[in-house]
């Protein structure tokens, strides 16, 4: 049974940083793709950053490129999203997705053309101006 749990969200001021964490028990990161998605009220879900750990292919949405970094700690089976220089438009519920078969590029996973089998419940990020 795979369980995906996010943490690290909160309320921050514009320009500050947050680090989101995602634990995915039951998965070996090297064998799968993982990603971070977000959804703001009234908007469609957006792929923020996705990575195929097998190939090393990582993708960042243009809106976060240069500010967000996806990484992992294998010893803790944890995925991270370091978010710097946060903006009010980054306000959203952030979801961790795991278990994508390592066939495609990070960009393909974030495009939504293929789904991840495991999702967390989400963690809210709110950026005030």
| Sheet with strand 3-7: strands edge to edge | 3-7, 18-25, 78-83, 68-73
* Best CA proximity match to 95, nearest among 35, 51, 8: 35
End-to-end Cα, the chain, rounded Å? 41
Is the CB of residue 91 less than 8 Å from the CB of residue 125?
yes
* Pair 35, 50: CB distance under 8 Å: yes
User: With pLDDT > 70 as the criterion, what percentage of the chain qualifies?
Assistant: 100
Q: For the segment 35-53, what is each residue's pLDDT rounded down to a tens digit?
A: 999 999 999 999 999 999 8
pLDDT digit string (tens) for 67-87?
A: 999 999 888 889 999 999 999
Residue 109 · residue 64 · CB < 8 Å: no
């Amino acid at each position: 049974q795979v369980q995906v749990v996010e943490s690290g969200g909160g309320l921050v001021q514009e320009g500050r940083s947050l680090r989101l964490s995602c634990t995915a028990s039951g998965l070996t990161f090297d064998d799968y793709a993982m990603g971070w998605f977000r959804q703001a009220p009234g908007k469609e879900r957006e792929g923020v950053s996705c990575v195929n750990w097998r190939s090393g292919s990582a993708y960042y949405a243009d809106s976060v490129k240069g500010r967000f970094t996806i990484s992992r700690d294998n010893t803790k089976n944890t995925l991270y999203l370091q978010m710097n220089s946060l903006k009010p438009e980054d306000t959203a519920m952030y979801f961790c997705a795991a278990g994508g078969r390592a066939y495609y590029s990070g960009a393909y996973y974030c495009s939504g053309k293929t789904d991840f089998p495991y999702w967390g419940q989400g963690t809210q990020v709110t950026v005030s101006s």
